[in-house]
């Protein structure tokens, strides 16, 4: 495991969201422990390999993944990774994708599985990637799928509720850059000594008050991450799971609460924050742009399908889009930089 992290830090590209420190090692050990408990007689080398892949693969860019897998093939020769048993989650994900009118691209599904696996070992995680990479769609599909399973699974005793991995999910959304810094955590008036509560403690109190055995709370921070507000979350993302406020109040985070951050990059975040979070990197190149066309096409009225309009449109798409994007990248100057997905 140590050899893997050492070689990754030397050979892979340098990105703001990559971390190979002790917290990454600890998360991998936790994941290996969970796998060992689930399969006490399994091959330990295969268990360690699966833990290393499950914890680290989600954060790598598309171009770094082949290098990472080559490092693992050198350090774990002849050992195959055990396949994850997704059980009823796989079918529920396809139902959720159809319900929300997305396209089930393989790379998109893989990222949803990775987000689910990362949640099992981290209570703080970050969805990182440019606009159009599918970050919001990722957690929305996972939430819808888990809620579908939760609605269909009947639990009679408290013991069954505790062991049930599919509890109803409630998402509480906040854009921290849409409000003033004082409104995020609250502020103390230095003259009157009166404390005004911020939005984050309100969300945490709600999640603590409303959390039941059968519910899971996701507090989603959707917006740019910078040192002005994220540093105050370090105590929450630590093992202590405590939110410390300006008025000396401390709010304990429950075991059924997950803090999620959706952002396009982590250039302003400190290594201390990055090391505390699980990372899932959504790469627009891996997602591709075909899924956008397929989604667009599937929402056409039935009358257009009968006139073979959609078939003609697909032929034009196949003939022109790829070449047009290539020529645009090569010969045009963009005023606003975009990805192929945009």
Question: Are 27 and 65 contained in the same domain?
Answer: yes
Question: Are 112 and 228 contained in the same domain?
Answer: yes
Question: Are 64 and 186 contained in the same domain?
Answer: no
Q: Please check whether residue 80 lies inside any domain of the structure.
A: no
Q: List pLDDT tens digits, range 271-287.
A: 888 888 889 999 888 88
Q: What is the pLDDT of residue 340?
A: 82
Q: What is the pLDDT of residue 151?
A: 84
Q: What is the pLDDT of residue 267?
A: 86
Mean pLDDT of all residues belonging to the chain: 86
Instruction: Considering only CA atoms, give the Rg of the chain.
Output: 22
Question: Are 171 and 96 contained in the same domain?
Answer: yes
Q: Give how far Cα 198 sits from Cα of 22, 138, 170, 203, 223, Å.
A: 33, 28, 20, 9, 17
Question: Are 144 and 25 contained in the same domain?
Answer: no
Q: What is the mean pLDDT of residues 124-129?
A: 91
Q: Tokens 């080559």, residue?
A: 70
Question: Are 105 and 161 contained in the same domain?
Answer: yes
- Of 223 and 213, the structure prediction assigns the larger pLDDT to 223
Q: Strand, helix or coil at 244?
A: strand
Q: Please check whether residue 102 lies inside any domain of the structure.
A: yes
Answer with the one of 75, 102, 130 that is the final residue of a domain.
75
Question: Are 219 and 138 contained in the same domain?
Answer: yes
Answer with the one of 47, 75, 103 that is the final residue of a domain.
75
Nearest-angstrom CA–CA distance, 146 and 210? 18
Answer with the one of 14, 44, 75 that is the final residue of a domain.
75
Q: Please check whether residue 6 lies inside any domain of the structure.
A: yes
Question: Are 232 and 189 contained in the same domain?
Answer: yes
Q: Please check whether residue 340 lies inside any domain of the structure.
A: no
Which of 100-109, 293-302, 303-312 is modeled with the greatest confidence? 100-109
Q: List pLDDT tens digits, range 66-114.
A: 999 999 988 888 887 767 667 788 889 999 998 888 888 888 999 999 9
Q: What is the pLDDT of residue 155?
A: 61
User: Does the pLDDT of residue 255 top 70, yes or no?
Assistant: yes
Q: List pLDDT tens digits, range 6-34.
A: 999 999 988 888 888 888 888 899 889 98
* Structure-block tokens of residue 173: 């959304």
Q: What is the mean pLDDT of residues 216-230?
A: 89
Q: What is the pLDDT of residue 280?
A: 92
In contact, 62 and 47? CB cutoff 8 Å? no
Q: Tokens 């990454």, residue?
A: 24
Domain residue limits at 31: 2-75
Task: Output the DSSP codes for 297-324.
Answer: HHTS-HHHHHTTHHHHHHHHHHHHHHHH
| Beta partners for residue 299, in sequence order | none
Question: Are 264 and 190 contained in the same domain?
Answer: yes
Nearest-angstrom CA–CA distance, 135 and 224? 14
User: Does the pLDDT of residue 211 top 70, yes or no?
Assistant: no
Question: Are 232 and 104 contained in the same domain?
Answer: yes
User: Does the pLDDT of residue 315 top 80, yes or no?
Assistant: yes
Q: What is the pLDDT of residue 82?
A: 67
Q: Please check whether residue 336 lies inside any domain of the structure.
A: no
- Residue from 129, 5, 124 nearest 62 by CA: 129
Q: Please check whether residue 319 lies inside any domain of the structure.
A: yes
Q: Please check whether residue 339 lies inside any domain of the structure.
A: no
Q: What is the pLDDT of residue 341?
A: 82
Q: Could you give the number of structural domains in the chain?
A: 3
Question: Are 211 and 65 contained in the same domain?
Answer: no
Reported pTM: 0.86
Nearest-angstrom CA–CA distance, 63 and 286? 10
Q: What is the pLDDT of residue 141?
A: 94
Q: Please check whether residue 342 lies inside any domain of the structure.
A: no
Nearest-angstrom CA–CA distance, 209 and 222? 23
* Run of H or E residues at 216: strand 215-222
Q: What CATH number does residue 105 fall under?
A: 3.40.50.300
Question: Are 31 and 129 contained in the same domain?
Answer: no
Q: Where are the alpha helices (DSSP H) in the chain?
A: 2-11, 22-38, 44-56, 65-75, 88-99, 106-121, 135-152, 158-163, 181-185, 199-210, 227-230, 234-237, 271-276, 284-287, 290-298, 302-306, 309-331
Q: What is the pLDDT of residue 198?
A: 87
Q: What CATH number does residue 9 fall under?
A: 1.10.8.710
């Amino acid at each position: 495991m140590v050899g893997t992290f050492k070689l990754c830090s030397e050979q892979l590209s340098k990105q703001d969201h990559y971390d190979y420190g002790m917290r990454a090692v600890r998360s991998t050990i936790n994941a290996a422990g969970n796998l060992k408990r689930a399969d006490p007689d399994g091959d330990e080398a295969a268990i360690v390999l699966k833990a290393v892949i499950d914890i680290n693969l989600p954060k790598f860019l598309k171009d770094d993944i082949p290098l990472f897998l080559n490092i693992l093939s050198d350090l774990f020769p002849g050992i195959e990774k055990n396949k994850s048993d997704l059980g009823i989650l796989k079918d529920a994900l396809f139902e959720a994708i159809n319900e929300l009118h997305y396209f089930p691209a393989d790379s998109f599904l893989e990222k949803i599985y990775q987000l689910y696996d990362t949640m099992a070992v981290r209570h703080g995680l970050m969805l990182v990637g440019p606009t159009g990479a599918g970050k919001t769609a990722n957690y929305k599909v996972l939430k819808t799928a888990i809620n579908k399973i939760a609605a269909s699974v009947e639990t009679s005793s408290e013991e069954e509720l505790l062991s049930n991995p599919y509890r109803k999910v409630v998402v509480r959304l906040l854009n921290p850059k849409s409000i003033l810094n004082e409104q995020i955590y609250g502020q103390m008036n230095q003259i009157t000594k009166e404390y005004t509560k911020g939005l984050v403690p309100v969300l945490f109190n709600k999640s603590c008050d409303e959390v039941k055995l059968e519910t899971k709370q996701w507090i989603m921070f959707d917006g740019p991450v910078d040192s002005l507000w994220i540093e105050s979350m370090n105590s929450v993302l630590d093992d202590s799971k405590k939110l410390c406020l300006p008025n000396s109040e401390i709010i304990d985070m429950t075991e059924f609460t997950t803090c999620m951050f959706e952002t396009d990059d982590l250039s302003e975040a400190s290594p201390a924050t990055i090391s505390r979070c699980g990372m899932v990197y959504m790469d627009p190149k891996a997602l591709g742009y075909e899924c956008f066309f397929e989604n667009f096409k599937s929402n056409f009225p039935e009358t257009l399908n009968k006139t073979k309009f959609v078939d003609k449109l697909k032929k034009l798409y196949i003939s022109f889009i790829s070449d047009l994007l290539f020529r645009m990248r090569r010969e045009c100057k963009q005023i606003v930089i975009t990805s192929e997905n945009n």
